[in-house]
Amino acid sequence: MDQALAPLSTGMGFLNLHWILQGVDAMLAAHADLQRLLLEALGMPGKRDRILVSVFVDDNARQLETINAVRKGMSVAAQHKMRIKYALNLVKSAAISKELEVARAKIYLEEVIGEIERSSEVKNTHTGSWPLDQDSHHYRKLKLEKKSNISTIASKAIEANLVSSLVLGALLAALDCSAGLSITTAIPIPKNLSGGFPSLWEELKEEAEARRGNRCSSAFLEGICSCLGQIAALLDSLLRNKATRDDDELQIKQLLRLAHKKLDYLDSGFQILEEQMGDLFSKMVANRKEILSIA
């Protein structure tokens, strides 16, 4: 059992919270019966577990001091029981929140992409040309409507702490360029992104690093950043490499198809974590009877 628990003792001295959160998606995908195991195995954390929960917001020295105080005088079997019980409760709660995060994030992103698509499909019904005459009353009315819709979606996503203003800002800045919707005043966008996207990926990585350790794991955030960054780059590419006006609509439709594919990365972005965590999954499932018996 010590060998099976070995990966849990790395990182922060006892249990690496960030590492566990990163592995949740891969864990659920790797073993269909693991979710059932988690639900059956344990109840709510006990007193000692609650002490350990607070440990992870402190520095490493404080963590080790608290953990050692809690474990002092406990038998090896009791220590194993406490480790497994806390780890599985943590993974169980993280699994639930992560599933909701992925589902909600995809809804927000699909709504934003949908608004881009609807904005880009606007035609002048009389001439069939694209886009509408920018001086027309209908065009100005449409622009205001789209600005309101997209700003509302973006604001909800930011308020939910689901997608950062930087990430959405990059996408919305690209939307400004491609669809002529002036929405940059409604959503905060870093100044260095207003002229294009040469440093977009570096900015997104910095944002992910800043969020490391928060509810949303850095790997999950980087997956969203990568997805949105590529969508923004595609939109920027359309702006920089315009063909003749007759080809604009076709290019936009092709671009949007690619953008929709990028959203699929949110489902498959954790495959590498499955490989990294595979040994631990196998050991946990192989030892599920022992886990259940001591928990």
Confidence of residue 173 (pLDDT cuts 50, 70, 90): very low
pLDDT value for 36: 38
Give me the pLDDT at residue 18, please.
35
- Give the pTM: 0.25
Per-residue model confidence as pLDDT tens digits over 48-74: 333 332 332 233 334 334 444 455 555
**Among 273, 150, 173, 153, CA closest to 228:** 173
Cα–Cα distance list, 25 to 71, 101, 134, 145 (Å): 30, 11, 46, 37
Judge contact between 181 and 150, C-beta under 8 A.
yes
Query: What is the pLDDT averaged over residues 154-176?
Result: 44
With contact defined as beta carbons under 8 Å apart, do 232 and 174 qualify? yes
Question: What average pLDDT is seen over the chain?
Answer: 43
pLDDT tens digits, residue range 14-26?
233 333 333 333 3
Q: Would you call 1 exposed, middle or buried from its count of C-beta atoms within 10 A (0-12, 13-18, 19+)?
A: middle
Type of residue at 171: L
What confidence tens digit (pLDDT) does each residue in 249-266 have? 555 555 555 555 544 444
Reduce the DSSP state of residue 45 to 3 states and report it: coil
